[in-house]
Amino acid sequence: MMRQKRTDAAQQSGDVPATELQTRFGCNFRTLRKRAGLTQTQVAERAGIHQKEVSQVELGKVNLTLGTMHRLARVVDGDVTHLLAEPETPPKK
């Protein structure tokens, strides 16, 4: 019961669900990575994570820490705010 009230309050205040933010980040990140001409492996090496995690980020399946978001954004010359914004192109399903 308490969880439902919290969800309703979040929706009423205009908060974006975490899963939507993960999807936005992943879609925007992939766009910037491709514009930068980088492979997932190159990004992984520069950010200090595994290539598989980069793939999962782009699919919106990872709940990242702020530190990892920041490192990934730096690799593609972006910023976290831009990566969490509405995507320019809708994500592929």
Is residue 55 in a domain?
yes
> How far apart, in whole angstroms, are the C-alpha atoms of residue 77 and residue 49?
17
Q: What is the pTM of this model?
A: 0.77
Q: How many domains in the chain?
A: 1
- Residue 84 buriedness (CB in 10 A; 0-12 / 13-18 / 19+): middle
Q: Is the pLDDT of residue 8 over 80?
A: no
Q: What is the pLDDT of residues 36-63, one digit of tens each?
A: 999 999 999 999 999 999 999 999 999 9
CATH number of domain containing 74: 1.10.260.40
